[in-house]
Amino acid sequence: MQLARVIGTVVATMKAPNMEGMRLLIVQPLTRRLEPVGQPVVAADALETAGPGELVFIVGAREAAEAMPNRFVPVDHAIVGIADAVEGLADGGSAAGSREPGKAGKKPRKPRKAGR
């Protein structure tokens, strides 16, 4: 699984029958320091709640289809979680995964955004 940022949506009227009703989002894969890496991909939103600008994590290959309500669908990338925070661990290398490195160890483990 990798971190990614939702950067757009895809509207497709004609698509494979199993894909009807599926939310398709464009996501930019990120490094763990939240820098863009590689090409954006179209991912199915298994959560039905991810929106533009949101930090998510995606899974690729056959496991992407496993995320969907119907497991036998033509999907190769899926959004399987919304990342509320990415935290570096106290003695885990550079701890640069956190967006606020100085506060990494003190932050309470609860979501930042209300309503999620």
Partner 1 sequence: MKLARVVGTVVSTVKSPVFDGRALLLVDLLEPDGREAGGYLIAVDTVGAGAGETVLVLDEGTSARQIVGAPYGPLRTVIVGIVDAVEGPAAGSG
27 scored as a contact of partner 1 (CB under 8 A)? no
Element (H, E) at 2: strand 2-10
- For residues 35 and 9, what is the distance between their CA atoms, to the nearest angstrom? 20
Stretch that binds partner 1, among 9-17, 19-27, 106-114 (CB under 8 A): 106-114
What is the smallest separation between the CB atom of 100 and partner 1, expressed in angstroms? 12
Asked if 77 interacts with partner 1 (CB under 8 A), we say no
Beta strand 24-29 pairing with 77-82: unpaired
Q: Between the CA of residue 39 and those of 4, 7, 102, what are the distances in Å?
A: 11, 12, 31
Distance CA(3)–CA(56), nearest Å, equals 6
Per CB under 8 A, contacts with partner 1 among 35-74 are 46-47, 49, 57, 59-64, 66-67, 71
- Positions in the binding site for partner 1 (CB under 8 A): 1-3, 31-32, 46-47, 49, 57, 59-64, 66-67, 71, 78, 80-95, 97-98, 109-111, 116
